Structure 1
Amino acid sequence: VKLHVKNISGGVAGEIDVRNDVFGVPENPALLHQVAVAQLANKRQGTVKTKTRAEVSGGGAKPRPQKHTGRARAGSIRSPIWVGGGRAFGPSPRSYRQRTPKKMRRLAIVSVLSDKARQGSLVVVDKLDLTDSKTRSIKSMLRALEIGSS
């Protein structure tokens, strides 16, 4: 596989041969999806928690007699149907960790690099010799190389 090499002014400086085992891999959308979902899941904290009826303070005594009041039976004021009661089946802390094998992660990265090389989206620059470290010069270089939205 050959990639075009550009200089910092955007002109073509030549071509470079790259390895087929990195830039010649077929696209694998299912693998990319699996790795992306795993990475997003691993970013989640999973620290959400609500109190159940057992964890809310109070509610030990029976609020009213069982019979002869004309109202519904009630055993605790911390029941989920009462205001101030616990949450029924609320969220609890859990781990969203998904272990992705190293070979799968590498194959996903290689697959993306290969796809970008096929689309012509990869930019290889021969030298990054910047005379000054100014944002203006970097921005003009990126514009000349047609990188980004600037």
Structure 2
Amino acid sequence: MVNCVVRNWQGEDAGQAELDLKVANEENAAHIVHRALRRQMNNARQGTASSKTRAEVRGGGRKPWRQKGTGRARAGSSRSPLWRGGGVIFGPKPRSYATKMNRKERRLALRTAFTSRTEDLVVVEDFGDNLSRPKTKDLLEAMGRWGVAAGSKTLLILADKHDTIYLSARNVEKLKLILASNLNVYDLLAADQIVVTQSAIAKIQEVYSD
């Protein structure tokens, strides 16, 4: 169980939040998180790279010169991989990079990755009501009061979609906003600091507790 200090809109301590998630043991933690990260990155690949073999390149049906008597090496097609403009030997073809991983392992890796970032975790009270209208400046000032370093890669986790917060955060460089139900290993590991609302902590506890 991890206890986190909750900060209000002004950056003052406003209580405690508990996070109790089942994580992988210390021996296997790095391995299972690495597998989940590799799976996510592999599944993001399109796999659409494609090159043409000598059979697919346009032209080359005519024999360039007769077989014997010219003094040159024999050639049957100008689209040979040895020729300029010819086909490609063992070139890339469309393929799937999808990597499988059991659902229980994926969720265990996600919980482990999230718990490993508790030192960089900033828990705040729900602040949607403090933004009467979309205002990037107000959000940045609040993040400064919470102790988020300016210019750092920050992940902001909300329990539910909030239009005002989204509009205030979308133009901030190096700030990514996601919902608690859409957590992923890559974003958790890539961020320098993680800001999560109190309701998002409760939702993470509810959704990923098993």
For normalisation by structure 1, the TM-score amounts to 0.86
Q: Secondary structure at the match of 1:123?
A: strand
Query: Which residue of structure 1 lines up, in the alignment, with residue 161 of structure 2?
Result: none
Aligned length: 146
Higher Cα radius of gyration? 1
CA contact 2:57–2:87 (8 Å) conserved in 1: yes
For structure 1, which runs of at least 5 residues remain unmatched after alignment?
none
Q: CA RMSD in A?
A: 1.9
1:70 lines up with 2:71 in the alignment: yes
Structure 2 gaps of 5+ residues are: 152-210
Q: How far off is 1:100 after superposition?
A: 2.2
The answer to whether the aligner puts 1:107 opposite 2:133 as a matched pair is no
- Conservation of the 8 A alpha-carbon contact between 1:56 and 1:85: yes
Whether the 8 Å contact between 1:25 and 1:114 is mirrored in structure 2 is no
AA partner of residue 135 (structure 1):
T
Contact map agreement 1:53 1:78 (CA 8 A) in 2: yes
Q: 2: CA distance between counterparts of 1:82 and 1:25?
A: 55
- Residue 73 of structure 1 deviates from its aligned partner by 0.7
Deviations 1:33-75 (A, max 9, x none): 1111111111111111111111112222221111111110111
Higher relative contact order (CA 8 A, sep 6+): 1
In the alignment, structure 1 residue 98 sits paired with structure 2 residue 106: no
Alpha carbons 1:7, 1:125 under 8 Å: kept:
yes
Q: In the alignment, residue 87 of structure 2 is paired with which amino acid?
A: G
* Greater fraction of residues in strand: 2
Confirm or deny: 8 A CA contact 1:46 1:93 kept in the other structure.
yes
Separation in 2, partners of 1:131, 1:40: 35
Match of 2:145 in 1: 144
Structure 1 residue 112 displacement after superposition: 1.7
Q: 2:24–2:109: 8 Å Cα contact kept in structure 1?
A: no
TM-score of the pair, normalised by structure 2: 0.63
| Partner of residue 56, structure 1 | 57
Consecutive aligned runs of 4 or more in structure 1 exceeding 4 Å deviation: 24-27
Shift in alpha-carbon separation, 1:131–1:49, aligned structure 2, 3 A: closer
Verify the 8 A CA contact 1:53 1:87 in the aligned structure 2.
yes
